[in-house]
Amino acid sequence: MKRDNYHHGDLRRLLIETGIELISHEGEEALSLRKVAKECGVSSAAPYAHFKNKNDFIGAIQQHIMDLFTSSLEESIHKYNDSNEILPKMGKAYVMFFYENPLYYDFLFSRKNIKIQLSLNDTADNENLPLEILKKTAVRIFEKTNMSEKTIQNKIIAMWALVHGLSAILTMPNVEYDDRWEERIEKIIKSISISHRNTGDE
Amino acid sequence: MKRDNYHHGDLRRLLIETGIELISHEGEEALSLRKVAKECGVSSAAPYAHFKNKNDFIGAIQQHIMDLFTSSLEESIHKYNDSNEILPKMGKAYVMFFYENPLYYDFLFSRKNIKIQLSLNDTADNENLPLEILKKTAVRIFEKTNMSEKTIQNKIIAMWALVHGLSAILTMPNVEYDDRWEERIEKIIKSISISHRNTGDE
DNA sequence: ATTCCAATCTTGACGCTGATAAGATTTTGT
DNA sequence: ACAAAATCTTATCAGCGTCAAGATTGGAAT
């Protein structure tokens, strides 16, 4: 991590990468600006040229990880054409992303930083948020049925809550994971996304 | 917060209470041993007579809040005798506990401390953990049906994931809460706990 | 009652942290 | 080529968790 120039050239990116490295190996607790700076071969105050403060830095990392997460979800859409399979597979992708990198879950959803928000509202600048992808996909599938809009909305929320909750549970320490989970996840998700009864509002 | 004695008499309890006060008002971020100590009118090192370190202190607070949570769940059992209503009401109690005190959710499930664990395993010393209460109640209700043990287990996990996920979602900042949520929560939970199809393993 | 021990609390210190100010160095725009 | 802006360093600050050493106290044993 040496450099010959006074200016680094690409410090911002390097800081973020080093930060993610640290988080995915030792957790958010271990993340300190000074440590990251030293690891990048730069003085303690250098990061402040690229980030307003630590929270801003964390926000940038969250954004980066959130992009990874979003990509993972979108990939699962293109992979499966059968509309009966898309939602369960997507839900599985949701859960698996965090299972494969448990520290990401804690980091992404620890409420220290308010830059990245999952929201139920329709807002214009939310295009690539996980919930929006899930929403769009679900609506596209459900609107072929004769369910009311309210019912569809409830189903989407239920689905989101389910996969999010599964992610939380599976990333808890001491929850041992075995292969049964893989099919279990799909089956549980299908039980919500397929059954057309008992979710209605009318 | 004055005292005339050198010995405080009940410092441990006071520290915990002050810590909870701080967390529920300003969040875990704002919690520092020194601040709590000063608030209690005691020196910075005094807490170390009662707690091994900060993590130990946090663990004690988590235990305390977890007890509140558990009590809230158990209360919902005694309140409703209709077995068709117990699970939805209990799920609602699960979610409402955290809705009414959003900072508790972050604090209870931030993985900094490993003392309090929700676990899927059956262990002897887990009697009063939320999942155990949920499990026992669910098994008691489901065993009247003709569902297989595996199916029942899947339903319990789905239910837990659902209410946990709903708690996570509803405690997110910028998710505005209105009265519709109250019935929505129950309906969504019922859609899992009542429908006997599409969850099976065979 | 006196003695002694263990629990409790204080003082003072250490290294780490986030943050800022002041100044040095380099790049960029004109 | 020169000025302005961006980038980085050094020095410094207060706050943090933690520990060691010592003071104070309450209670148990004698």
Q: Does B118 score more than 70 pLDDT? A: no
Residues B43 and B100 in one domain: no
A58 lies in some domain: no
For the ranges A99-113, A140-154, B120-134, B168-182, the lowest mean pLDDT is seen at B120-134
CATH number, residue B70 = 1.10.357
Answer whether A192 sits within 8 Å of B190, measured CB to CB.
Answer: no
pLDDT at A72: 93
B158 part of contact set with chain A, CB < 8 Å: yes
How many C-beta atoms surround the C-beta of residue B42 within 10 A? 18
Q: Does B35 score more than 60 pLDDT? A: yes
Mean pLDDT, chain B, integer: 82
Q: Does B126 score more than 70 pLDDT? A: no
> What would the mean pLDDT of A147-163 be, rounded to a whole number?
87
Q: Does B10 score more than 70 pLDDT? A: yes
Q: Which among B161, B174, B111, B153 has a CA at the least distance from the CA of A189?
A: B161
Residues B100 and B120 in one domain: yes
Burial of A15 (0-12, 13-18, 19+ CB in 10 A): buried
3-state SS record for chain A: CCCCCCCCCCHHHHHHHHHHHHHHHHCHHHCCHHHHHHHCCCCCCHHHHCCCCHHHHHHHHHHHHHHHHHHHHHHHHHHCCCHHHHHHHHHHHHHHHHHHCHHHHHHHHCCCCCCCCCCCCCCHHHCCCHHHHHHHHHHHHHCCCCCCHHHHHHHHHHHHHHHHHHHHHHCCCCCCCCCHHHHHHHHHHHHHHCCCCCCCCC
Residues A100 and A129 in one domain: yes
CB under 7 Å from any atom of strand D: which residues? A 6-9, 11, 42-46, 48-50; B 5-7, 31-35, 44-45, 48, 53-55
For the ranges A41-45, A112-116, B16-20, B48-52, the lowest mean pLDDT is seen at A112-116
> What would the mean pLDDT of B59-66 be, rounded to a whole number?
92
Residues A159 and A70 in one domain: yes
Q: From chain B, pick out residues whose CB is under 8 angstroms from the CB of A198.
A: 190-191, 194-195
Query: What are A60-102's pLDDT values in tens digits?
Result: 999 999 999 999 999 988 888 777 788 888 999 999 999 889 8
Residues B5 and B90 in one domain: no
Answer whether B192 sits within 8 Å of A192, measured CB to CB.
Answer: yes
Max mean pLDDT among A28-32, B7-11, B144-148 falls in A28-32
Q: A112 or B79, which is more confident?
A: B79
A141 lies in some domain: yes
- Output the distance from B51 CA to C2 C1' rounded to whole Å: 33
Max mean pLDDT among A100-109, A156-165, B46-55 falls in B46-55
Q: Which among B47, B44, B38 has a CA at the least distance from the CA of B1?
A: B38
CATH number, residue B27 = 1.10.10.60
Total structural domains within chain B: 2
Q: What's the gap in Å between the CA of A32 and the closest CA on chain B?
A: 15
Residues A157 and A67 in one domain: yes
Residues A78 and A132 in one domain: yes
Q: What's the gap in Å between the CA of B80 and the closest CA on chain A?
A: 21
Nucleotide lying nearest to A37, CA to C1' measure: D8
For residue B32, what pLDDT band results from cuts at 50, 70 and 90? very high
> What would the mean pLDDT of A120-126 be, rounded to a whole number?
53
pLDDT at B121: 54
pLDDT at B188: 85
Report the share of chain B in percent with pLDDT over 90: 39
pLDDT at A181: 80
For residue A180, what pLDDT band results from cuts at 50, 70 and 90? confident
Q: From chain A, pick out residues whose CB is under 8 angstroms from the CB of B117.
A: 172-174
B118 part of contact set with chain A, CB < 8 Å: yes
Q: What's the gap in Å between the CA of B153 and the closest CA on chain A?
A: 10
Residues A122 and A44 in one domain: no
pLDDT at B156: 86
pLDDT at A4: 52
B38 lies in some domain: yes
CA distance B196 to A41: 60
Domain that includes residue A16, residue range: 1-51
> What would the mean pLDDT of A159-184 be, rounded to a whole number?
83
**Model confidence, pTM:** 0.88
- Output the distance from A46 CA to D11 C1' rounded to whole Å: 14
What is the greatest pairwise CA distance in chain A?
Answer: 70
Q: What's the gap in Å between the CA of B70 and the closest CA on chain A?
A: 18
CA distance A12 to A8: 9
Residues B120 and B47 in one domain: no
pLDDT at A182: 81
In Å, how far are A49, A128, A194, B119, B176 from A60, measured between CA atoms?
14, 16, 38, 33, 25
Residues B47 and B71 in one domain: no
Q: At a CB cut-off of 8 Å and minimum separation 6, what does B178 contact? A: none
Best of A31, A58, A109, A192 to substitute, by most chain B Cβ atoms within 10 angstroms, is: A192
Query: What are B136-186's pLDDT values in tens digits?
Result: 888 888 888 888 888 888 888 899 899 999 999 888 876 666 777 888 888
Best of A172, A197, A202 to substitute, by most chain B Cβ atoms within 10 angstroms, is: A172
Q: Does A150 score more than 90 pLDDT? A: no
Give the one of A119, A157, A187 whose C-beta lies nearest to B201's C-beta.
A187
